[in-house]
Amino acid sequence: MNKKVLLQDLGLKDYKETWDYQELLFKEIVDLKIKNRREAAGLQTPNHFLFVEHPHVYTLGKSGDINNLLIDEAKLKEKEATFYKINRGGDITYHGPGQIVGYPILDLDNFFTDIHKYLRFLEEMVILTLAEYGIKAERSEGETGVWLDVGTPFARKICAMGVRASRWVTMHGFALNVNSDLGYFDLMIPCGIKDKAVTSLNVELGQKEVDMNQVKQKLLRHFELLFKANLIKQKTPA
């Protein structure tokens, strides 16, 4: 079992370009697994972890409802945002500057073959990171992601999640609001859940801006511990 995870920080990158890159890495792992099964090749499968920040974009999961996007194409252009219907689970979500997006592309055969556990570990990674900032974050029953003040009238989501898995290989991942422009969330029904607010780390801390790199380092430390992984930083592809 290969516990090495190749880490790349793609910086600010177009959503579709990043999706295509994810699909490429995903396919390479799946193809290798098929070759191993057919030919008993015994080849080691790689794992990847991508950090990225996207320009304003709304994405709709395969089971999502387009009506949860509350603006039309003209308004999207006005807001300099794009829209994609994609192949992850979940409903609609927003990505934009000031948000840390993480895409683990893992062969879970290298770790554990349990999607429920995988999602809980991603949530735990975020919960433990936020705890380092003095924020008590938690899960909300039946609602994937990370929330604050669950069970109260002030419940609000700080991290969205949506994944795809095939042959125990994952893609897509999580989006943690750090310095996000929360106005963009008003243009959709987040994850299809009405009457639930969205928040960002800088808002919760009462700061204008939180150091994104510091948050990333905390996330990675907890990821390594939870998954018993060995992260290896790679150069960003041209």
191 belongs to the catalytic site? yes
Q: What ranges in 147-211 are assigned the alpha helix state H?
A: 201-205
Q: Is-contact 7 229, C-beta < 8 A?
A: no
162 assigned binding-site residue: yes
Annotated active-site residue in 148, 191, 219, 220: 191
Query: In whole angstroms, what is the distance from residue 201 CA to residue 101 CA?
Result: 14
Is 93 assigned to a binding site? yes
Residues 6+ apart with CB under 8 A from 224: 230, 231
What whole-number distance in Å separates Cα of residue 103 and Cα of residue 176?
12
174 in a known ligand binding site:
yes
Is 48 flagged in the annotation as binding? no
Residue 144 assigned to a binding site: no
* 131 is annotated as contributing to ligand binding: no
Cα Rg for the chain, rounded, in angstroms? 18
**Residue 83 marked ligand-binding:** no
164 phi and psi, to 5 degrees?
-125, 145
User: Is 94 marked as a binding-site residue?
Assistant: yes
Check whether 223 is labelled as a binding-site residue.
Answer: no
Contacts of 225 (CB under 8 A, 6+ apart): none
Q: What is the DSSP letter of 169?
A: E
Q: Is 34 annotated as a binding residue?
A: no
Question: What span, in angstroms and rounded, lies between the C-alpha atoms of 22 and 118?
Answer: 18
Return the half-sphere exposure (C-beta side, CA atoms, 13 A cut-off) of residue 61.
19
Summarize the annotated binding site as residue ranges. 88-95, 160-162, 173-175
Catalytic sites, residue numbers: 191
Binding residues for substrate: 88-95, 160-162, 173-175
